[in-house]
């Protein structure tokens, strides 16, 4: 049975049992504790936590998931991967343990002809929490299994919590016995033998303190008992397809088969190669799904995970012997299998493939560059007598050049060196800690949301009126400082204020928060920032300008109208530029991020190459033509499927309400996007759009920046003033300005060339006198000189000329050091007689460079180097003189 059919039967089974089928959510999740959706229940967390009311009493889904904590271990086991699909059924206060057990057991054991999976009952073992006798009896009663077939396990295996105070409860797993070839009888810790395929979580407890997975307090029973289950689709597929591991099922193995074709190697022939085959198959699929949901390669957060996956895949193919571009061969294979379920992969293929292939090209260059840098580092370690590459060097290769640590380890081993892995891991951990601290510090104290949830539970949600008005009469729900509620805020203090109603727009969807003031009797607050730390609650970061604020004071909240006008222009302008971008470049140029504040916008989009000047002008022109057309701007609410059917663009990285979403359109179908921001009513109200720059923000991602409204006109006015000053200075008209400047630049270049020619002639003219001044060092003519202001190329030219002028009959050495600024460049040239006498330019330049605090090298006839301390130039030449003396004496 293929995976698509297994998935279809799962959904049909639960739909027939009254569940609403919910489409998979995006892999990107707004949870600050998660990079990606890592379990099927994640999209339903607000319902389980009581933050939102579920729209259905029972639901079922097949959710895309990615788990990446142990990427290095992928392929080493045969049941874990980074991307997987989790089938689940969920009850929100509807059925409980008996219902969940009945539904799961029925699907697992029902004959194939009746729409089930037909797994043998004799191979199935339910596991339960050892302190849940109710579940034991239910399993025996519903399935008819004897007591010894129901396995009792402890908290670490069969009790579930989210790791924080909140809902929790015992769970039951369905284990499948794969037989003695996979482990010992009765050893239920042997996961290969007793494969867990389904986990049924019985949410019944309220946890008040969670200190670890097995150490927590149970405060009491939940008001409603919920069911959350998770069934690994890939695990059931390997059983029903009779495969030994998940890498050989129908949606994964075709990539392995393609790698076999490309490399000529065979899967199953070598254990080391098998790990590489599995890494490629897993990472290609995971990367494709992440790019499909809007992730682009980068050096931070989600982008860094994607970059690692792509580069590990490319590296593994290379280790299998394939040196050409691999992803264009492999990605389409995975697309064709996964695209049967996820049609977006076909629709967005141009963008997905463009991002992936550009990253491979960048990594291939990285491999070339990194290999050179590694070779230099390895040579230095060997020269110094060391045996290990430092953790700092390995980290620099990884962090600066994207060089994988496994590649560093392998190449070091090939050269007989070790790597300070402990030091590398420590530096990696410190980097992760800094990233986490930075994420927690952003937007104030919003990392720990417990205090805000308490306010929401006690006082209710904030009535948000940003669409309706710029002013409200309000009351304080709470005052906070340092993440804790306080009784007052004094003059000069910065704190947080939660209102019962507010006109302020909270930062979201790329739009900056509103600015403004909040007045109270005897004082004024300046609004610095506005955020939504939890859904339904609006938190204002404020500074008390005067007076003392207490929670009981009546408040008058007022948004700065000029700020809001500029914000509306910029946000609508972002939509216009996005539509223009797609019109000029094509539909694959999709927004991947944005930010707008009054008068300014920036828009990131997936694109692999820099835009030409004409393309940028075209985007600006299309945008401003849309403004001149005075296109109507409107919005309406609908369900997410309706919005997608209508052609609305759902932006990458954003999450949308499962019920109603807001669609903003400009000029009808010309621009339709899901958006919760504030907007103008007609496009002409944007004023103008002036594109000020286009740049790269990472592999496969570009950025456009622009000014709007008054700020756009101000930018153009400044440009006009610059043009006016230049035309006056150069005594020409604006139309002739470019030609006039071009003429001046050409004349300047000609003059510089003449000066350079004269300077070089003067420099070379000194070669004769330098050669004549050569001293005799034990039978060798040594011309050693310091030339102030000479650069590397000049030094080489001069040294070669001096060597030519030395007598060819006797050994000769020309050593010239150029001092430009603080640095020094040195070139040593040895004539044929000198080389015959055993003198080497390579050895001589190394002796000098070491004195200069640098390095050098080359061949026996010519070598060059440099150093950071030009003040030691005379000492460096003295080192050359000693080396010549030793060499000449030795010969």
Helical pair 97-109 and 133-143, crossing angle rounded to 10 deg: 40
By the 10 Å C-beta count (0-12 exposed, 13-18 middle, 19+ buried), 765 is classed as: exposed
Rounded-to-integer distance, Cα 110 and Cα 107, Å: 5
Q: Is 4 exposed, middle or buried (0-12, 13-18, 19+ CB in 10 A)?
A: middle
Task: For 831-840, give one letter per residue: b (16+ CB within 10 A) or e.
Answer: bebbeebebb
> What are residue 816's phi and psi, to 5 degrees?
-125, 130
The 10 Å CB-count burial string (b at 16+, else e) for 676-690 is bbbbbebbebbbbbb
| 420-433 exposure pattern, b = at least 16 Cβ within 10 A, e = fewer | beebbeebbeeeee
Do residues 767 and 761 make contact, with C-beta atoms less than 8 angstroms apart?
A: no
DSSP class of residue 181 equals: G
C-beta atoms surrounding 217 within 10 Å: 12
Position of tokens 């590649």? Answer: 407
Residue 57: CB atoms within 10 A of its CB come to 14
3-state secondary structure of 250: coil
812-820: strand order across its sheet:
775-777, 780-788, 812-820, 823-830, 862-867, 855-858
Q: What's the CA gap between 288 and 617, in Å, rounded?
A: 33
Question: What is the Cα 208 distance to its own chain's centre?
Answer: 34
How far is the C-alpha of 27 from the C-alpha of 84, rounded, in Å?
11
Euclidean distance between CA atoms 406 and 410, whole angstroms = 6
Nearest to 32 by CA among 435, 399, 506: 435
Could you tell me the two tokens for 509? 């969807």
H/E element holding 480?
strand 476-481
CA dist list (Å): 511 to 80, 561, 711: 39, 16, 17
Q: What is the distance between the alpha carbons of residues 829 and 610, in angstroms, rounded to a whole number?
A: 44
Structure tokens belonging to residue 564 = 């809001």
Both tokens of 366, joined, read 């990285």
**Would you list which residues are annotated within the binding site?**
571, 575, 675, 679
What angle do the packed helices 349-383 and 301-319 form, to 10 degrees? Answer: 70
Burial class (CB in 10 A: 0-12, 13-18, 19+), 639: middle
Q: What is d(CA 10, CA 469) in angstroms, rounded to the nearest whole number?
A: 48
Binding residues for Zn(2+): 571, 575, 675, 679
The structure tokens listed for 538 are 């609006």
The answer to whether the beta carbons of residues 669 and 632 sit under 8 Å apart is no
335/874 Cα distance (integer angstroms): 65
Token readout for 126 is 């339910």
Query: What's the distance, Cα to Cα, between the start and end of the chain in Å?
Result: 81
């Amino acid at each position: 049975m293929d995976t698509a059919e297994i998935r279809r039967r799962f959904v049909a089974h639960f739909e027939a049992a009254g569940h609403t089928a919910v489409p998979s959510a995006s892999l990107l999740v707004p949870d600050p504790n998660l990079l990606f959706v890592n379990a099927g229940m994640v999209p339903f967390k607000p319902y389980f936590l009581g933050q939102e009311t579920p729209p259905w009493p029972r639901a079922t889904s097949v959710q895309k998931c990615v788990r990446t904590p142990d990427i290095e271990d992928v392929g080493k086991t045969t049941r874990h991967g980074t991307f997987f699909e989790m089938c689940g059924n969920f009850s929100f206060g509807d059925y409980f343990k008996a219902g969940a057990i009945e539904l799961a057991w029925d699907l697992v054991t029902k004959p194939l002809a009746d729409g089930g999976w037909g797994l043998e009952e004799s191979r199935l073992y339910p596991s339960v929490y050892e302190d849940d006798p109710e579940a034991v009896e239910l399993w025996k009663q519903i399935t008819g299994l004897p007591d010894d077939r129901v396995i009792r396990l402890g908290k670490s295996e069969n009790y579930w919590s989210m790791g924080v105070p909140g809902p929790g409860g015992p769970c039951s797993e369905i284990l499948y016995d794969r037989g003695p070839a996979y482990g010992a009888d009765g050893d239920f810790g042997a996961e290969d033998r007793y494969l867990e395929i389904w986990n049924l979580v019985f949410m019944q407890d309220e946890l008040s303190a969670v200190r670890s997975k097995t150490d927590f307090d149970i405060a009491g029973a939940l008001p409603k008992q919920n069911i959350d289950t998770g069934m690994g689709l890939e695990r059931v597929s390997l059983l029903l397809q009779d495969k030994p591991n998940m890498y050989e099922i129908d949606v994964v193995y075709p990539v392995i088969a393609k790698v076999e074709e490309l490399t000529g190697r065979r899967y199953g022939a070598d254990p080391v190669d098998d790990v590489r085959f599995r890494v490629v198959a897993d990472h290609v699929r995971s990367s494709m799904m992440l790019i499909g949901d809007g992730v682009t390669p980068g050096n931070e957060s989600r982008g860094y995970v994607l970059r690692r996956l792509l580069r590990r895949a490319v590296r593994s193919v290379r280790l299998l012997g394939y040196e050409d571009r691999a992803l264009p061969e492999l990605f389409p294979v995975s697309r064709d299998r996964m695209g049967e379920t996820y049609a977006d992969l076909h629709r967005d293929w141009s963008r997905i493939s463009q991002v992936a292939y550009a990253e491979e090209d960048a990594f291939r260059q990285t491999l070339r560059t990194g290999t050179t840098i590694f070779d230099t580092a390895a040579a230095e370690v060997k020269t110094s007598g060391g045996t290990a590459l430092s953790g700092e060097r390995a980290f620099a290769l990884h962090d600066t050049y994207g060089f994988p640590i496994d590649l560093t380890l392998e190449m070091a081993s090939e050269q007989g060196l070790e790597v300070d892995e402990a030091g590398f891991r420590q530096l990696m951990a410190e980097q992760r800690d800094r990233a986490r601290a930075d994420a927690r510090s952003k937007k104030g104290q919003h990392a720990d949301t417990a205090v805000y949830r308490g306010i929401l539970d006690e006082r209710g949600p904030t009535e948000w009126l940003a669409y309706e008005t710029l002013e409200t009469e309000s009351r304080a729900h709470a005052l906070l400082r340092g993440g804790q509620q306080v009784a007052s805020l004094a003059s000069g203090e910065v704190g947080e204020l939660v209102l019962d109603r507010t006109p302020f727009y909270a930062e979201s969807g790329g739009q900056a928060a509103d600015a403004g003031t909040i007045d109270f009797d005897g004082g004024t607050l300046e609004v610095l920032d506005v955020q939504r730390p939890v859904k339904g609650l609006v938190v204002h970061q404020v500074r008390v300008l005067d007076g003392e604020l207490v929670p009981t004071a009546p408040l008058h909240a007022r948004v700065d109208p000029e700020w809001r006008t500029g914000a509306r222009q910029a946000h609508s302008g972002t939509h216009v530029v996005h539509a223009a971008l797609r019109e000029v470049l094509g539909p694959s140029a999709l927004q991947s991020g944005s930010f707008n504040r009054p008068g300014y916008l920036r828009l990131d989009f997936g694109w692999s190459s820099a835009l030409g000047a004409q393309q940028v002008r075209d985007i600006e022109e299309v945008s401003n033509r849309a403004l001149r057309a005075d296109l109507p701007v409107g919005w309406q609410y609908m369900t997410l499927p309706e919005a997608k059917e209508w052609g609305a663009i759902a932006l990458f990285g954003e999450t949308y309400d499962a019920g109603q979403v807001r669609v903003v359109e400009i000029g009808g179908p010309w621009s339709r996007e899901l958006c919760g921001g504030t907007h103008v009513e007609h496009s002409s109200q944007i004023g103008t759009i002036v594109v000020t720059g286009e740049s790269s923000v990472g592999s496969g991602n570009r950025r456009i920046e622009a000014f709007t409204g008054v700020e756009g006109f101000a930018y153009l006015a400044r440009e006009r003033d610059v043009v006016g000053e230049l035309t006056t200075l150069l005594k020409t008209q604006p139309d002739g300005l470019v030609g006039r400047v071009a003429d001046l630049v050409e004349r300047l270049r000609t003059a510089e060339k003449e000066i350079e020619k004269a300077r070089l002639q003067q420099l070379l003219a000194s070669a004769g006198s330098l050669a004549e001044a050569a001293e005799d060092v034990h039978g060798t003519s040594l011309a050693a000189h310091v030339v102030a202001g000479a650069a590397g190329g000049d030094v080489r030219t001069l040294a070669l000329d001096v060597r030519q002028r030395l007598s060819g009959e006797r050994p000769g050495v020309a050593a010239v050091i150029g001092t430009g600024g603080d640095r020094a460049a040195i070139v040593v040239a040895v004539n044929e007689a000198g080389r015959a006498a055993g003198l080497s330019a390579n050895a001589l330049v190394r002796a000098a460079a070491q004195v200069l605090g640098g390095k050098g090298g080359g061949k026996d006839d010519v070598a060059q180097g440099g150093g950071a301390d030009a003040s030691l130039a005379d000492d460096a030449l003295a080192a050359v003189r000693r080396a010549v003396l030793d060499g000449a004496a030795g010969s």
